[in-house]
Amino acid sequence: MTTGIGVTAGTGVTTRALVARGDGTAPDVVTVELLPLGERDVLVELAAAAVCRTELMTVDRALAGHERPSGTDARLTVLGHAATGTVTSVGSAVTRVAPGDRVVVTGTRQCGSCFYCLKDAPGACDEIFTHMERRVGTSTTGEAVWSDGGMGTHAERMVFVESNLVRVEGLAPARELALLGCGVTSGAGAVREVARVREGQSVAVSGCGHLGLWMLRTAALAGAHPLIAIEPDPWRRERARQAGATHVIDPRLDSQRPFDLTAAVRDLTDGRGADVALEAAGTTLALRQSFELSRLGAVVVPTGLESETAVVCLDNLQYSLGSRTIRGAQCGGGDVLRIVPEYERLLASGALRADLVITSEHTLADAAEAYELLSDPRSLTAIILLADADADADADANADADADTDPAAHAADPAADVADPADADAHAEANPDADSHTDTRAHPTPPREEPAS
């Protein structure tokens, strides 16, 4: 469905925003005059936003399945779906937030009143797709400007539907609060709200990009054991250890013999397979592998998105008779009004280790560089700092945390690796489909791993 905000005349309120042009070219910054507030709209002055690999689908026009207005195949779209900022004005029917409130913009919506929200399934809220196509303003050249998924957080200020917003206390710096809109909520929620991991359960996480690391960290806090990370890139495997993985596995095939990933996981789980298998690699192959390496009666949680048209084929016999449960995890699957404040407190305490996931910072002017990093396996989450005051405050608040990013300080015993004995140089090649992002200047390369004997 295509919706606008307010009427077509401008308000005089302008914003600089990072836009994709819908033709595959690199994003750039333009000035946009915003449309007036609708009755349920909220204007937010943004402080920081996170960059997610999903944005590449907008840049590359991969998500073409939603209805689009005639003649607008190539158009200006403000990127971004996770941020934090301060409310400056609200529409006449807004009840959730008020001017002056610190908020997180989430990559989902929760209206609280539709069939799904009332049935305790807010991850399927009616408003998630009804506001997917949303015009937000007009460029200085007279072009209509839309927002990515109805959000568009890579801007100085933006208008959002109130169901996108969650009020927070501001306990953590803006650079960390921005993570709550997508990565933290999706990864931690997959563990806490969807799989509901308990102490002593065996957990396998496929893919150690930003989502996988949030899953590992949250599962470690829950007491999962063994906690198995499956990742082809050695740098990311090191991050997985720091997040709390008790074992790491390189899933790629050896040139001399096939490597049996399922057997490797069963060897670590008394021959059964994982109690919980979490997919965070963004490929249908990883989802099939997660299903296969889980035990009978296990919970399997897919979170990645290879494409809008990708199809997953599963073993009919194992699915029908194996008593496995597959649970989707749209933005963590839980009540964001409850879980976002919970995760804010975990971030503020340091328990979630944001330092493991934030790998570069950018201003809006150089934000296009963050998109160039998305194909780098050492780029996990880039942060765009949108307000100078918040950037200065963040720098002060994180001075101590930044000093504690030495990989050796949190590394597990390398002997816990279950590595395929392939040429170690080949391991440096990134899995192009895994969710990715990192600034190597801030995080030096750990020593190259040796295969376990």
Q: pLDDT (tens digit, 0 to 9) for every residue of the chain, 453 residues total?
A: 333 343 344 568 999 999 988 776 789 999 999 999 999 999 999 999 999 877 776 676 534 434 444 444 567 899 999 999 999 999 999 999 999 999 999 989 998 899 999 998 888 888 887 777 789 999 999 999 999 788 999 999 999 999 999 999 999 999 999 999 999 999 999 999 999 999 999 999 999 999 999 999 999 999 999 999 999 999 999 999 999 999 999 988 655 556 789 999 999 999 999 999 999 998 888 999 999 999 999 999 998 887 778 888 888 888 788 889 999 887 878 789 999 999 999 999 999 999 999 999 999 999 999 988 988 999 999 999 998 644 444 444 444 444 344 333 333 443 345 544 333 333 333 333 334 333 332 333 333 333 332
Superfamily for the 195-326 domain? NAD(P)-binding Rossmann-like Domain (3.40.50.720)
Instruction: Say which DSSP state 392 is in.
Output: H
Where along the chain do its domains lie? 14-183+333-385, 195-326
Q: How far apart are CA 280 and CA 268, in angstroms?
A: 20
Six-digit token string for 259: 């490597």
Instruction: Name the DSSP class of 194.
Output: I
* CA 64 to the chain's CA centroid: 21
Nearest to 353 by CA among 239, 208, 435: 239
Q: For residue 55, report the phi and psi dihedrals to the nearest 5 degrees.
A: -60, -25
CA distances for 313 relative to 16, 156, 300, 420, 422, angstroms = 44, 43, 14, 26, 29
Q: What CATH number should be reported for the domain whose range is 14-183+333-385?
A: 3.90.180.10
Q: What angle do CA 25, 29, 31 make, to 5 degrees?
A: 130
437, 51 in Cβ contact below 8 A? yes
What distances in angstroms separate CA 217 from CA 249, 320, 339, one per listed residue?
17, 32, 16
Tokens 């201003």 found at: 363
